[in-house]
């Protein structure tokens, strides 16, 4: 017969063992700690007000509404995020701070888009983007391991699949089907793809990606669905009903105020 003292010892050992199993299982599954809640719009106030953030970046906050956009995306501290076509790093700065020191940011842009290199050098020379890895590749050759990324974010970019830069061959930036397939490849099961772009008119041909740098939202929806991604949600935070979808996005009367769609998909 087991005495009360021995029974208590056995119970404590069982409790310790059970907790250890749960911790190991949580680590093995890659699940986040319960405290790692997604950041809400209000959580970005300190990030956007960071004194080290370039003044030129801050001047675009009112038009680009990064806090609202990223709240929709649901960034968690500790996430691994792949940012496609990162431009000059405007969103990279905010994403780097949002995922925090335990998170990872993979910055991507194609070799034809080297205009951002000086800006990224300035940011890294200033000690920014410490958790970021900058990669150069076509959109269909993302430099990330299979099933390794929590979020793939493509801000104002899907139309580029239908754009040919000067001195480049058509499709040089990436094949459409292969690009969406590569997004699926790098995402973890349950990971999410977020696409935002300048909207073209419903039914507009994909050639608008070349002519006015826009894309019909239905094209992105269809491409993501074909790749096996599930549509989860959309946001109208940057919608502009007064935009008739006919002007070039760089037109001075519309710049930073185009009608923009924002979709979230899940693997």
Q: What is the mean pLDDT of residues 149-172?
A: 96
265 and 73 Cβ atoms separated by less than 8 Å: no
195 and 161 Cβ atoms separated by less than 8 Å: no
Instruction: For residue 245, count CB atoms less than 10 angstroms from its CB and return exposed for 0-12, middle for 13-18, buried for 19 or more.
Output: middle
Where are the chain's structural domains?
A: 1-31, 36-266
Q: What is the model's pLDDT at position 29?
A: 39
Cα–Cα distance for residue pair 264/151, rounded to 1 Å? 10
**Does position 197 have pLDDT exceeding 90, yes or no?**
yes
114-149 per-position pLDDT tens digit: 899 999 999 999 999 999 999 999 999 999 999 999
The dotted CATH code for 36-266 is 3.40.50.150
81-95 per-position pLDDT tens digit: 999 999 999 999 999
Q: What is the model's pLDDT at position 68?
A: 98
Angle at which helices 217-226 and 176-186 pack, to 10 degrees? 60
Q: What is the model's pLDDT at position 194?
A: 98
> Which one, of 249, 224, 222, 225, lies nearest residue 238 by Cα?
249
238 and 70 Cβ atoms separated by less than 8 Å: no
20-57 per-position pLDDT tens digit: 333 333 433 344 544 579 999 999 999 999 999 999 99
């Amino acid at each position: 017969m087991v005495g009360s003292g021995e029974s208590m010892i056995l119970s404590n050992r069982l409790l310790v063992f059970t907790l250890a199993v749960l911790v190991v299982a949580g680590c093995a599954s890659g699940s986040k700690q319960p405290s790692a809640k997604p950041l809400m719009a209000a959580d970005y106030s300190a990030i956007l007000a960071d004194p080290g953030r370039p003044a030129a970046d801050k001047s675009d906050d009112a038009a680009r509404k990064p806090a609202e956009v990223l709240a929709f995306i649901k960034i968690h501290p500790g996430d691994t995020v792949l940012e496609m076509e990162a431009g000059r790093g405007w969103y990279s700065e905010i994403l780097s701070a949002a995922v925090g020191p335990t998170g990872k940011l993979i910055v991507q842009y194609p070799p034809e888009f080297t205009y951002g290199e000086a800006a990224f050098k300035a940011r890294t020379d200033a000690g920014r983007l410490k958790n970021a890895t900058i990669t150069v590749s076509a959109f269909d050759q993302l430099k990330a391991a299979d099933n390794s990324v929590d979020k793939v974010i493509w801000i104002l970019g899907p139309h580029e699949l239908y754009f040919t830069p000067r001195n480049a061959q058509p499709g040089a930036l990436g094949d459409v089907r292969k690009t969406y397939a590569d997004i699926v490849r790098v995402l973890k099961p349950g990971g999410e793809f977020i696409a935002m772009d300048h909207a073209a008119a419903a039914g507009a041909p994909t050639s608008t990606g070349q002519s006015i740098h826009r894309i019909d939202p239905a094209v992105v929806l269809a491409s993501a669905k074909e790749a096996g991604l599930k549509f989860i949600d959309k946001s109208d935070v940057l919608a502009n009903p007064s935009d008739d979808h006919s002007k070039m996005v760089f037109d001075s009367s519309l710049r930073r105020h185009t009608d923009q769609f924002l979709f979230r998909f899940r693997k």
